[in-house]
Each structure stands twice: as structure tokens, then as C-alpha cells.
């Protein structure tokens, strides 16, 4: 089995776990209460509000062959690639405001900053920055993969059950549109990164195991308790 197939299988398994968890079912069916929808949106905003900074770190670590694609993605995230573009953080802020959650934004921004700070100050699990970069890139591509397959479903549920407008849902709609291509490019970037930094197959598998050992989609979007429940269910 090729490395690309191994990674895609891991991503698909995590995506299936995400869409198969109880919380996702309640969200999509409309059986969740308003507080659960708002908590989900708050978690999405917190998870991605500082994503341009993580992408900038990955860009700094990128091998030459992967730099152009990553720079394109970074400029797109920042909303400066086109004159009339909106940055991804601004899309997330607009979504929170559209859901009537604007008063929570200072708290979400603080938590997003704390998450980024924790990423920097936590003891390294790896021996060198090349391993840190691979783990960060693998997780980043995993979200592109998952969102390319679920963002339209999530947007439809939030529109139907929360009454969010198309404008408020622009972040999800954008990811539904572009992340299929981004995920395919991301798989290529992973292969380029692994080859450029001369990772062995065993080292690559070990780092991917550490980076993707938990279902990060459930953890980030639904929380630790949902992750624990899903882990118990899958045994």
C-alpha cells in the first residue's frame, strides 16, 4: 500500500468517525438544541480563527516544490490574493455575528490565541522541527480533506436548523468549493515534504500515528467529552 493511500485511509476513517458520531447526527437532523448549535459554531471559530498563522509556519518549512501552492493558500486565507476577497478569519467572525454570537467573539479570540500559544510552548514530542512541520502539515491537510466532504452538509444543516444566511455561511461554502482541490494538493505536498526531508517509512508512520491518533475533528468541533464517547463506542 502506498504512503498516499495510507494517509487517505486515515483521513477517511477520521471523517467517517466524525460524521458517524452522535453529535453530528443531532446537528444534521435538527434534533440538537440551540445551545448545542452555538457551541459547535464557537468551536469551529476557535479552531480556525488563527489558522493563517499555522499555515505560515508550514509555509516556512515547505520544500521548494511545495512553496507556490502553500503561498497561494496563505494569501487566500489572508484575503489578499484578490482585491474583493474576504479573509478566512473575517468569514468566521461574520458567521459568529450572523448566528447572534458576536458578544462571544472576544472570548473566542482569546481562546484561539491561547491555543496557538500552547502549540508553541508545549514540550516538543519530536526531535527536530522537520517532524513538527510534518505533524502540522498532516493535520492541516486532514481538515481540508474532511471539509471537502462535509462542509456543504454542515452549511445546509446550519441554514435549515439555525436560519443562518448564505452570507453568514460563506466560510463553510468556501471550503466546500475549494477544499477538494486543496486536499488533493495537500496530499502531494505531504509526499514532497516527506521526500525532501528524507523521512523513512517507519518514521513517517510514527509521526502520523502521533499526530492523528485522536479524531481531531470530533475533538475540535464537539469537544473532549464527545471524543471520549466516540472512542468508547468504537472501542
Cβ atoms of residues 15 and 149 within 8 Å: yes
Q: What is the mean pLDDT of the chain?
A: 93
> Exposed, middle or buried by CB within 10 Å (0-12, 13-18, 19+), for 125?
exposed
* Residue 72 resides in a domain: yes
Q: How many structural domains compose the chain?
A: 1
For the stretch 145-155, pLDDT in tens is: 999 999 999 99
> Exposed, middle or buried by CB within 10 Å (0-12, 13-18, 19+), for 109?
middle
* Residue 24 resides in a domain: no
Does position 57 have pLDDT exceeding 70, yes or no?
yes
- For a pLDDT cut of 70, what percent of the chain falls above it? 99
Helix 170-196 vs helix 64-78: angle between axes, to the nearest 10 degrees? 160
* Residue 115 resides in a domain: yes
Helix 3-20 vs helix 170-196: angle between axes, to the nearest 10 degrees? 150
For the stretch 93-105, pLDDT in tens is: 999 999 999 999 9
**Could you give the C-alpha distances from 189 to 32, 64, 73, 195, in angstroms and in order?**
38, 10, 12, 10
* Residue 22 resides in a domain: no
Looking at residue 154, its pLDDT comes to 98
* Residue 44 resides in a domain: no
For the stretch 6-39, pLDDT in tens is: 899 999 999 999 999 999 999 999 999 999 999 9
> Between 159 and 68, where is the model more confident?
159
Alpha-carbon gap, residue 151 to 136, rounded angstroms:
21
Task: List the grid coordinates of 80.
Answer: 489578499
Comparing 10-14, 126-130, 142-146, which segment has the lowest mean pLDDT? 126-130
In the DSSP assignment, the letter for residue 127 is S
**For 117-142, what is the mean pLDDT?**
92
Sequence-separated contacts (24+) of 152-155 with Cβ below 8 Å:
152/176, 153/19, 153/28, 154/27, 154/28
CATH number for the domain harbouring residue 191: 1.20.910.10
Alpha-carbon gap, residue 152 to 231, rounded angstroms:
26
Domain containing residue 69: 3-14+50-213
Amino acid at each position: 500500500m502506498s504512503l498516499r493511500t495510507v494517509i487517505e485511509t486515515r483521513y477517511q476513517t477520521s471523517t467517517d468517525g466524525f460524521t458517524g458520531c452522535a453529535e453530528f447526527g443531532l446537528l444534521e437532523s435538527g434534533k440538537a438544541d440551540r445551545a448545542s448549535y452555538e457551541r459547535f459554531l464557537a468551536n469551529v471559530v476557535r479552531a480556525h480563527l488563527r489558522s493563517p498563522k499555522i499555515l505560515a509556519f508550514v509555509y516556512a518549512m515547505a520544500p521548494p516544490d511545495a512553496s507556490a501552492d502553500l503561498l497561494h493558500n496563505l494569501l487566500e486565507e489572508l484575503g489578499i490574493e484578490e482585491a474583493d476577497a474576504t479573509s478566512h478569519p473575517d468569514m468566521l467572525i461574520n458567521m459568529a455575528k450572523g448566528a447572534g454570537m458576536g458578544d462571544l467573539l472576544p472570548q473566542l479570540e482569546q481562546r484561539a490565541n491561547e491555543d496557538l500559544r500552547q502549540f508553541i510552548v508545549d514540550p516538543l514530542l519530536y526531535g527536530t522541527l522537520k517532524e513538527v512541520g510534518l505533524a502540522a502539515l498532516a493535520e492541516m491537510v486532514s481538515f481540508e480533506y474532511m471539509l471537502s466532504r462535509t462542509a456543504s452538509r454542515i452549511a445546509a444543516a446550519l441554514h435549515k436548523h439555525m436560519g443562518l444566511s448564505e452570507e453568514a455561511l460563506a466560510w463553510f461554502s468556501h471550503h466546500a468549493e475549494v477544499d477538494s482541490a486543496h486536499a488533493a494538493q495537500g496530499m502531494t505536498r505531504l509526499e514532497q515534504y516527506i521526500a525532501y526531508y528524507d523521512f523513512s517509512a517507519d518514521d513517517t508512520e510514527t509521526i502520523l500515528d502521533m499526530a492523528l491518533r485522536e479524531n481531531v475533528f470530533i475533538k475540535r468541533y464537539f469537544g473532549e467529552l464527545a471524543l471520549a464517547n466516540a472512542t468508547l463506542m468504537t472501542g
